[in-house]
Amino acid sequence: MSDQYTEQDPTTQHDQPTDAEQIPHPGLTGEMEHEPDHGEDTYRGSGRLQGRRAVITGGDSGIGRAVAIAFAREGADIVVSALEEEQEDAAQTARLVREAGRTAVVCLGDLTREEQCATLIERAVEELGGIDVLVNNAAFQMAQPGGILDITTEQFDRVMKTNLYAMFWLCKNAVPHLRPGSAIINTSSIQARQPSGELLDYATTKAGIVAFTQGLAGQLAEQGIRVNSVAPGPIWTPLIPATTGEDKVESFGDQTPLGRAGQPAELAPAYVFLASQESSYVTGEVLGVTGGMPLT
């Protein structure tokens, strides 16, 4: 077998992360022993999003950073949304967007507050001149090995507000600014179909995101606005060592048919596809990037 095909073997093309030490929440990329691959050295654009204007929540690191890099290299200008404590990572994402020759705007704030969601959309309209793509990617999870008995009302509320309320508020504020041909992409999860007991609240929100995506897609179809979702499997991001026990981190991704965790760079092409005209006849769909784990 040639080296070319060896490098493309999906079971081995990325090393399996081995970090066992947890990092403080929300988790910064620089705190990780084994930093994720966001496509910094590999993603090559071809103008599929030329002149588009995108808002990416949770754009500071992980999947959000990989999507921002890919969108910028495809020709899009980006507003990166992140928490105040994620400013360092958000600045790094913005630098990578600017290195691709595109505009980058960083908007820091807590999306569990309705007014911050409205501010984010206003900033995008003011500084980019409009919105063509909204990527609802920000999420909160905190694994609780004891299941429902260990999930506090405070945690449940935070998960719901971050994962569901913010998506609702952002879409509600963005839709009046979206033109025919615009796209909304919501990040759901394999957890929507294969929920883990220790992520009960998180899985509940991810199933809600699927229903919201499909319902909103039907509502906005006649306006020419497409709404889809990407459902990741186990993806190596700062959220994992920041919210998961050491024993789970060591074996993270082992359960997939491909036998490893995915990298954010492996998610970005799915978002590019759903944001571009290549998917012009696709709406209300959930695109799984799960390492072979079925969504049914």
For 288, the enclosing helix (H) or strand (E) is: strand 286-289
Q: What's the start-to-end Cα distance of the chain, in Å?
A: 35
45 φ, ψ (degrees, to nearest 5): -85, 165
- Integer Cα distance of 222 and 126 in angstroms: 27
Cα separations (Å) of 59 from 86, 184, 219?
A: 10, 15, 27
Q: What is the DSSP letter of 235?
A: B
70 φ, ψ (degrees, to nearest 5): -65, -45
**Looking at this protein, which amino acid is placed at residue 176?**
P
Residue by residue, DSSP assigns 211-234 as: HHHHHHHHHHGGGT-EEEEEEE-S
- Integer Cα distance of 213 and 187 in angstroms: 10
**Looking at this protein, which amino acid is placed at residue 84?**
E
Among the listed residues 5, 165, 202, 281, the single catalytic one is: 202
Place of tokens 């929920």: 195
Q: 26 and 40 in contact (C-beta within 8 Å)?
A: no
**Is 202 in the active site?**
yes
Structure tokens at 236: 């190596």
Instruction: Cite the active site residues.
Output: 202
